[in-house]
Chain A
Amino acid sequence: MIKRPCGADTLVREMPAAKVDKARPTEMLALILRACQLLSEAFREIFDESAYQRFLDRNHQESSPNAYAVFRQENEQSKSRRPKCC
């Protein structure tokens, strides 16, 4: 009895869909990476890391304890007026 590889006699192997299957992992990976990147950006925004980076860029400064102290002062003034929801 001749052993044939599974699916060797089906049309599926010859269909161009195989190409799509090859492309899909890359697309999926890109999608997952983008989702992770967005999640990371969201966290950075929620936790004020992006705001600190913008502060450094705006003032052409490097991150340092002094720069962070000035940022916190500036940030607190606007943040302390924001209500937190129930």
Chain B
Amino acid sequence: MPKVLRVLLWIAVSLLGALALATIAFHRGEQINALWLVIAAVCTYAVGYRFYSSFISAKVLVLDPLRATPAERLDNGRDFVPTNKWVVFGHHFAAIAGPGPLVGPVLAAQFGYLPGTLWIIAGAVLAGCVQDFVILLLSIRRDGKSLTEMAKSEIGRVGGVVAYLAVLSIIVILLAVTALIVVNALKSSPWGTFTIAMTMPIAVLMGVYLRRIRPGKVLETSMLGFVLVLAAIVGGQWVSQAPTWAAVFTLTAPTLAILIIVYGFAASALPVWLLLAPRDYLSTFVKLGTISLLAVGIVLLRPSLHMPPLTRFADGTGPIFAGKIFPFAFITIACGAISGFHSLISSGTTPKLIRGEKETRLVGYGGMMAESMVAVMAMIAASVLQPGVYFAINSPAGIVGQAPEAAATAISVWGFPVTAAQMATLAHAVGEQTLFNRTGGAPAFAVGMAQIFSNTLGGQAVMALWYHFAIMFEALFILTILDAGTRVGRFMLQDALGHIWKPLGRTSWYPSILLTSAIVVAAWGNFLWQGIKDPLGGINSLWPLFGICNQLLATVALCVATTIIVKMARAKVRVGRARYAFVTLIPLFWLVAVTFTASWHKILDPNPRIGFLAHASQLAASGGNPRLIFNDHLDATVTGALVVMVTMILIESTVECLRVLSGSKTAVTKETPFVMTKLALEEQA
């Protein structure tokens, strides 16, 4: 294409993006079409990818197409395999896409669609994509080392320990909060519980088919499993209408929590590959399919957003979680904008598959853009709901009351009209007994998704099927995160305990497996139990805690990245300059401001709905449950400990950078020596 045309094209894309952003930012009083959000996101991502990621590739990281990657040098056909960039892109996206970008935006929609959408788009382009891209490349230049190993070797011992503890904490909190989402989605829902229960025998059948009948034909098996799951969803309707069976599958929150805790322990400690591996495949299959379907549904239907751009809850009095837009919108939406957890994937499997350094741009930066788009779709799904319905589903009983009429009145008084009859009709349409007080984000997302799907395909008659399909989709892959996360936590704990007593570090020694599995499950199980016993619904305290953990991990990743970029410039390993470290420094400053302010509020804010300690004092004064008081103190301690640890890594990283910049320390990076690529040259030839 001629240069003039290219310039004109990019000017057009930029102008269209600006117009879309202006439309969503300044439109007041009337509903806007969801496509404006999609256009704003796509145009901003396109400009960010074309120009910003190109600048980072050329000037900051100085990608070297002639340098052999670990996938080429260490190719063993197992962990290190040179793979096509689009295949790695798909693999990376499948690994980073979880429930976070779906749930976070739904919860943050209590502020209106505008703050969350702007943060998702800007945060991804300037922070999240940069973090994933830079960490991926740095890991590739270190033979695929993990974030913890890089922190230890490039910053110091404290860095390594802090990164390790931050990862372990985030895993524990993540598992608790995701388990809570499943509990809240399935409690008193015989249809949903039956469908999820059926995924277990279906997975076992898949396992037998995969092992005995068609070894290795995973895609074929997953398709068969998917058909069976669809049958289970249809069967769930019959179960929910048959009084005897409905009673069996109508479970309370504590019962579901106990079942999930037992499941987590069994999945970690027992050799249940027959169940876990096929279910993991099934979950990935459903996840990728549903996300694509949602994208198609939004583009085809072009729904209007009923949620206003800004609600009255920008003042911090929100019913879903208390706190003002700054900092709480920015920790509520983590995965769609920037997620520290991604740095674990970018320094895990993905760097061992990349064929050439240039491909890290597409996989790292581009993969996060795709994840961010999922978050925009979740924001749309939440915002197509009538605000009254959205708040009725997401507000806990502790805020709006248990009785439908009382809850509807409370929400209507806020300025979001809704009636108990309207909610009853909606609950009937989606095949549930009630939709009030279904906190956690998943039910609201499922209702929004069901509305989009049913208007695209099948009409209102199949809305209940779509709703339960959405619930099944969320619960299924949250449960795979639970079993995978518990095992990863168990391995991490075994690695650490192995330093104290060697046998504990042996991953095949059963007493060690049982002990470490029990510790990890007890840790997240405790937070889960705390969540279900919380009169405010649990999400109010646990989701911000999860957001803080996740963003603190991103702070650690950005510290590592900044230190290495400064060292690279000083050591003249690349021609990049130290001042280019701004690409990671700016998001680092932002995250420090966000996480430290949020932590301060969560620990010390005098408002009992925000501050853990104020809530504990309020409970103590009113003779409240000692267990709830202990939980508040525990939450405050965990938050405080994480902040102290991240402060330590910040100080160590700053000192390291200053010493290198002032010349009092020789800059030495731990990159593996340059080896000329053969793959790229062969391809060129």
User: Do A and B assemble together?
Assistant: yes
Residues of A within 8 A of B (CB): 38-39, 41-49, 51-55, 57-58, 63-65, 67-69, 71-72, 74, 76, 78, 80-86
For this complex, into which size category does the number of interface residues on chain B fall? 35 or more
Q: How far is the CA of A84 from the CA of B96 in the complex (A)?
A: 7
A85 x B273 contact (CB < 8 A): no
Chain A, residue nearest B353 (CB) = A45
How far is it, in angstroms, between the C-alpha of A46 and the C-alpha of B217 when the chains are bound?
A: 12
| Residues of chain A with a CB closer than 8 A to B97's CB | 85
A84 close to B484 (CB less than 8 A) = yes
- Once the chains bind, are A42 and B89 in contact (CB under 8 Å)? yes
| Across-interface contacts of B488 in A (CB, < 8 A) | 80-83
Asked if B341 contacts A83 (CB within 8 A), the reply is yes
Verify if B86 is at the interface (C-beta below 8 Å from A).
yes
| B100 partner residues in chain A, CB cutoff 8 A | 85-86
Interface SS majority for chain A: helix
Which B residues are CB-close (under 8 A) to A69?
211
A42-B91, A67-B215, A68-B211 given as contacts; is B171 within 8 A of A83 (CB)? yes
- Cβ of B364 under 8 Å from chain A: no
| Cβ-defined contact, A85 with B96, below 8 A | yes
Are A44 and B277 in touch, CB under 8 angstroms? no
Question: Does B491 make an interface contact (CB < 8 A)?
Answer: yes
Q: Knowing A80-B488, A80-B491, A83-B348, say if A46 contacts B222 (CB, 8 Å).
A: no
Binds A, one of B73-81, B437-445, B658-666: B73-81
By CB atoms of chain B within 10 A, which of A54, A67, A84 has the most?
A84
Q: Which residues on B sit within 8 Å (CB–CB) of A43?
A: 90, 219
Query: Could you tell me the dominant secondary structure of chain B's interface residues?
Result: helix
A67 to B100, CA, bound (A): 37
* Residues 78-129 of B contacting A (Cβ, < 8 Å): 78-79, 81, 83-84, 86-91, 94-100
Expressed in whole angstroms, the minimum distance between the Cβ of B510 and any Cβ of chain A is: 16
Contact indicator per residue, chain B 594-623, by CB within 8 Å of chain A (1) or not (0): 000000000000000000000000000000
Residues of B within 8 A of A (CB): 77-79, 81, 83-84, 86-91, 94-100, 171, 174, 178, 210-212, 215-219, 222, 273, 277, 281, 284-285, 288, 334-335, 339, 341-342, 344-345, 348-349, 480-481, 484-485, 487-488, 491, 546, 550
The answer to whether residues A68 and B480 also contact, given A47-B222, A82-B349, A82-B488 and a CB cut-off of 8 A, is no
- 12 A-B pairs with C-beta separation under 8 A: A42-B87, A43-B219, A45-B91, A52-B215, A58-B77, A65-B212, A76-B273, A78-B79, A83-B344, A85-B95, A85-B335, A86-B546
Residues of A within 8 A of B91 (CB): 42, 45-46
Do B78 and A63 have beta carbons less than 8 Å apart? Answer: no
Task: Tell me, rounded to whole Å, the shortest Cβ–Cβ distance linking A67 to chain B.
Answer: 7
Total A-B Cβ pairs within 8 A: 121
Interface centre among A46, A65, A78, A82 (most CB of B within 10 A): A46
Residue among A38, A45, A49, A76 with max Cβ neighbours from chain B (10 Å): A45
User: A8–B512 Cα gap in the complex (Å)?
Assistant: 84
**B95–A82 touching, CB < 8 Å:** yes
Contact A45 B83 (CB under 8 A): yes
* B216 in contact with A86 (CB, 8 Å): no
Given the complex, which residues of A lie within 8 Å of B219, measured CB to CB? Answer: 43-44, 47, 49
The 8 closest A-B pairs by CB, nearest first: A42-B90, A68-B215, A86-B100, A47-B218, A52-B216, A54-B77, A84-B484, A42-B87
Tell me the complex Cα distance, A3–B526, Å: 85
**Interface-centre pick from B215, B222, B339, B348 (highest chain A CB count, 10 A):** B215
Contact B87 A45, beta carbon cutoff 8 Å: yes
Tell which of B78, B99, B285, B288 has the most Cβ of chain A within 10 Å: B78
By a CB distance below 8 angstroms, the chain A residues around B87 are 38, 41-42, 45
Which one of A42, A49, A54, A82 lies within 8 Å of B81 (CB-CB)? Answer: A54
Does A47 lie within 8 Å of B89, measured CB to CB? no
Q: Which of B216, B348, B488 has the most CB of A within 10 A?
A: B216
Complexed CA–CA distance, A74 and B345 (Å): 20
B7 to chain A, nearest CB (A): 24
Question: Given A80-B491, A85-B339, are A47 and B284 also a contact pair (CB < 8 Å)?
Answer: yes
Chain B residues with CB below 8 A from A80, complex form: 484, 487-488, 491
User: Which chain B residue shows the least CB distance to A41?
Assistant: B87
Known: A46-B90, A76-B273, A82-B488. A68 touches B216 (CB 8 A): yes
Complex alpha-carbon distance, A80 and B79, angstroms: 13
